[in-house]
């Protein structure tokens, strides 16, 4: 899956100071709901028009430079699935090659999830995380518990957790005589081994969804060289209660090509992070995102650690549980809007955020979100809005070996999105060739907004390409072969071919 890009946040300098944000919004894409309603005006629904119709079979020939790129990578042309068509639903494809074959789309499946969410929830939808206080407050001491109920907010990151804790203190609470109770009942998701997908449990992109997902269950470790002391100073966000880590590591004179291996990190004990190696001074400041080795403990440790860092006292413990019936929230913490959220999802291919949006589709209809229920929601939405054979949905992120969709179906989806009132929100969420997100390093010369997809044996792009004449074309191109990664130049060549069309 496309790597996630991680902005981050400095450790708080003092318990009453605001966080310094020059690490950026921690988790722009760290690797970037209870029954609620968004503070959003009802959005207008698109007119239910006749779904796009595409001619069966191949149309046209793959361009010579595309064929040459496939040959160099030893990828047969039948393993390249392409559809190029105008944005209008009635258009005949300009190029259709193996477009009816359903294949694993990798992160291109995020287009279906985010388009459906914009269409059904609306771009101004927000997640709310309610906080409850159960008991009287006297002289700064709460004689009872604090409850935090997860709503599925996909980006409840360090700075927002800090603000949540400060709002609790704003209620006059400095000491909690009882517990801090975490309610995760808004989502029903099966327990999953983080190593099950690709054997990389410490990769943040493998984080599992959670109704109370904090910082993607991931740490951001900052190394800052201090040449005078001949060490690199180490900072970790968020602070985790009961977890030790070294304040410094020795500097070395090595190169920076593989500084992570040079550190010789030891994650075997989740309560004690160790570095047996050194940090190359030439690297300068580096930030290393890493999934916490005991993800089931992350939220409890992060909340306890943040409360302690703000000089709060806790007599009890941080534990899981349910909010008592009839208890009213003391306040709610609101997320960014859906429109903002999908920019993180699509530009940086954030898997767990996409899964949260997918789960929210059923949570908003049924009160509790589950993968099975969201698959049913997506199937109904597809038949109503897009038409044709529906894809095989799994978790809505593309981090799956089960999801399947054809190039033609993706093109059909993008034509429907183009005619939607939320087209501009979807368009602005897509990476721009050579400029940002996962398309920043693209060598394509054409101007385009394209979602990328990448898994073992899969590489693809899908979105909108501007032509020399000022038109905009829908382009979907998916490589499905063991040498897919080596054949990426064929994707750039396909983009440029589309850009040269009249």
What confidence tier does 12 reach under pLDDT thresholds 50, 70, 90?
very low
19-28, 86-95, 221-230, 289-298: range with lowest mean pLDDT: 19-28
pLDDT at 134: 98
β-bridge mates for residue 84, sequence order: 95, 475
How far, in Å, CA of 242 to CA of 385, rounded?
Answer: 50
- Crossing angle of the two packed helices 110-120 and 351-366, in degrees rounded to 10: 40
Q: Are strands 80-86 and 472-480 parallel, antiparallel or unpaired?
A: antiparallel
**Backbone phi, psi, residue 301, to 5°:** -70, -40
Concatenate the DSSP letters of all residues of 89-149 into one string. TTPPPSEEESTTSEE--GGGGHHHHHHHHHHHT-TT---EEEEEEES-EETTEESSEEEEE
How far, in Å, CA of 307 to CA of 261, rounded?
Answer: 33
Write down the residue that tokens 């698109």 correspond to.
46
Q: With a cut of 80, say whether residue 412 has pLDDT above it.
A: yes
Q: Are strands 248-252 and 279-280 parallel, antiparallel or unpaired?
A: parallel
Written as six digits, the tokens of 32 are 């970037």
pLDDT at 17: 37
Written as six digits, the tokens of 87 are 């944005």
pLDDT at 6: 37
Task: Label residues 421-440 b or e (16+ Cβ within 10 Å = b).
Answer: ebbebbbebbbbbeeebbbe
How far, in Å, CA of 347 to CA of 485, rounded?
Answer: 19
How far, in Å, CA of 231 to CA of 212, rounded?
Answer: 37
Do 393 and 112 contact (CB within 8 A), yes or no? yes
How far, in Å, CA of 356 to CA of 363, rounded?
Answer: 10
Do 429 and 439 contact (CB within 8 A), yes or no? no
Task: Classify burial at 398, counting beta carbons within 10 Å of its beta carbon; exposed 0-12, middle 13-18, buried 19 or more.
Answer: buried
pLDDT at 50: 55
H/E segment holding residue 362 = helix 351-366
Task: Classify burial at 191, counting beta carbons within 10 Å of its beta carbon; exposed 0-12, middle 13-18, buried 19 or more.
Answer: exposed
The 10s digit of each residue's pLDDT in 281-335 is: 999 999 999 999 999 999 999 999 999 999 999 999 999 999 999 999 999 999 9
How far, in Å, CA of 421 to CA of 148, rounded?
Answer: 35
Written as six digits, the tokens of 60 are 């046209």
Which residue would you say has higher pLDDT here, 41 or 402?
402
pTM, 2 dp? 0.88
Closest CA to 348 of 438, 214, 470: 438
Sequence-ordered alpha helix ranges (H) in 142-208 = 158-170
Q: Give the single-character DSSP code of 428.
A: H
Q: Are strands 369-370 and 187-188 parallel, antiparallel or unpaired?
A: parallel
Do 341 and 154 contact (CB within 8 A), yes or no? yes
Please give the mean pLDDT across all residues of the chain: 90
With a CB cutoff of 8 Å and minimum separation 6, the contacts of 334 are 39, 126, 127, 128, 129
Q: With a cut of 70, say whether residue 234 has pLDDT above it.
A: yes
Tell me how far apart the 2 most distant CA atoms of the chain are, in Å.
Answer: 78
| Residue 152, phi-psi category: left (phi > 0), alpha (psi -120 to 50), beta (remainder) | left
Cα–Cα distances (Å) from 37 to 86, 129, 213, in that order, read 36, 12, 19
184-198, 266-280, 400-414, 449-463: range with lowest mean pLDDT: 184-198
Q: With a cut of 80, say whether residue 337 has pLDDT above it.
A: yes
The 10s digit of each residue's pLDDT in 16-56 is: 333 333 344 443 334 433 222 333 333 434 444 555 666 67
* Mean pLDDT across 58-86: 97
**Whole-number percent of the chain with pLDDT over 70:** 89
C-alpha count within 13 angstroms, C-beta hemisphere, residue 170: 9
Written as six digits, the tokens of 502 are 């009249």
How far, in Å, CA of 385 to CA of 45, rounded?
Answer: 11
Report the first-to-last Cα separation within the chain, whole angstroms. Answer: 34
């Amino acid at each position: 899956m496309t790597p996630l890009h991680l902005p981050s946040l400095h450790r708080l300098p003092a318990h009453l100071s605001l966080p310094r944000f020059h690490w950026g919004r921690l988790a722009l894409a760290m690797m970037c709901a209870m029954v609620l309603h968004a503070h959003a005006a009802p959005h207008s629904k698109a007119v239910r028009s006749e779904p796009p119709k595409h001619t069966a079979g191949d149309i046209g020939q793959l361009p010579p430079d595309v064929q040459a790129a496939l040959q160099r990578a030893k990828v047969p042309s039948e393993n390249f699935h392409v559809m190029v068509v105008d944005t209008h639903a009635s258009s005949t494809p300009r190029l259709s090659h193996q477009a009816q074959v359903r294949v694993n789309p990798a992160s291109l499946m995020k287009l279906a999830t985010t388009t459906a969410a914009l269409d059904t929830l609306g771009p101004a939808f927000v997640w709310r995380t309610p906080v409850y206080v159960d008991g009287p407050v006297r002289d700064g001491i709460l004689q009872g518990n604090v409850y935090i109920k997860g709503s599925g907010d996909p980006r409840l990151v360090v700075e927002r957790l800090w603000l949540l804790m400060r709002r609790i203190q704003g209620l006059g609470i400095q000491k909690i005589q009882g517990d801090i109770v975490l309610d995760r009942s808004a989502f029903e998701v099966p327990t999953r081994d983080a190593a099950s997908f690709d054997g990389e449990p410490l990769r943040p992109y493998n984080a599992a969804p959670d109704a109370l997902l904090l910082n993607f269950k991931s740490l951001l470790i900052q190394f800052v060289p201090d040449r005078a002391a001949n060490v690199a100073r180490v900072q970790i966000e968020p602070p985790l209660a009961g977890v030790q880590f070294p304040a410094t590591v020795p500097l070395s004179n090595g190169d920076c090509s593989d500084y992570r291996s040079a550190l010789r990190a030891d994650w075997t004990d989740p309560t004690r992070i160790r570095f047996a190696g050194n940090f190359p001074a030439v690297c300068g400041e580096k930030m290393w995102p890493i999934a916490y080795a005991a993800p089931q403990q992350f939220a409890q440790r992060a909340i306890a650690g943040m409360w302690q860092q703000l000089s709060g006292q806790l007599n009890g413990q941080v534990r899981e549980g349910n909010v008592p019936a009839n208890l009213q929230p003391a306040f709610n913490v609101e997320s960014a809007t859906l429109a903002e959220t999908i920019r993180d999802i699509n530009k940086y291919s954030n898997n767990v955020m996409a899964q949260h949006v997918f789960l929210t589709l059923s949570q908003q209809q049924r009160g509790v979100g589950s993968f099975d229920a969201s698959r049913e929601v997506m199937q109904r939405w597809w038949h109503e809005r897009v038409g044709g054979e529906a894809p095989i949905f799994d978790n809505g992120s593309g981090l799956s070996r089960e999801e399947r969709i054809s190039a033609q179906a993706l093109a059909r989806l993008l034509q429907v999105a183009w005619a939607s009132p939320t087209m501009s929100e979807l368009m602005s969420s897509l990476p721009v060739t050579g400029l940002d997100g996962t398309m920043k390093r693209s060598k394509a010369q054409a101007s385009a907004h394209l979602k990328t997809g990448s898994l073992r044996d899969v590489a693809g792009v899908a979105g909108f390409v501007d032509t020399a004449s000022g038109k905009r074309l829908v382009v979907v191109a998916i490589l499905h072969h063991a040498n897919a990664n080596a054949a990426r130049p064929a994707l750039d060549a396909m983009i440029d071919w589309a850009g040269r069309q009249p």
